[in-house]
Amino acid sequence: EAGVAQSPRYKIIEKRQSVAFWCNPISGHATLYWYQQILGQGPKLLIQFQNNGVVDDSQLPKDRFSAERLKGVDSTLKIQPAKLEDSAVYLCASSLWRTETQYFGPGTRLLVL
């Protein structure tokens, strides 16, 4: 079974630029999560999708972050404009259903200069 795929793996941008991350969850998984993991901290949930609907985006900085999950499969997370404090690893995870085990992708490392 293929795992959660993410791209790109690394991204370096300057502040005020925009960036987008892509996630392909495990086939058949209805729930998809985006986490932000700042160096030395645990992952923090940004947004959770159930199929293509948003379940929880309470910790998403909506003035600069946006996310979508088209057709209930792939998802993109966008930051526009980026700030220095957005430097982090962005992890995508998926689960069969909301209360099932979450499987994580390798993450995208973002460095904002």
Partner 1 sequence: QKEVEQDPGPLSVPEGAIVSLNCTYSNSAFQYFMWYRQYSRKGPELLMYTYSSGNKEDGRFTAQVDKSSKYISLFIRDSQPSDSATYLCAMSNTDKLIFGTGTRLQVFP
Q: CB nearer to partner 1: give 17 or 87.
A: 87
Q: Is 27 in the site for partner 1 (CB under 8 A)?
A: no
Q: Is 31 in the site for partner 1 (CB under 8 A)?
A: yes
Q: Is 28 in the site for partner 1 (CB under 8 A)?
A: no
Q: What angle do CA 26, 109, 16 make, to 5 degrees?
A: 120
Q: CB nearer to partner 1: give 27 or 99.
A: 99
Q: CB nearer to partner 1: give 80 or 97.
A: 97
Give whole-number Cα distances, 41 to 4, 19, 57, 88, 99, in Å. 22, 22, 20, 10, 23
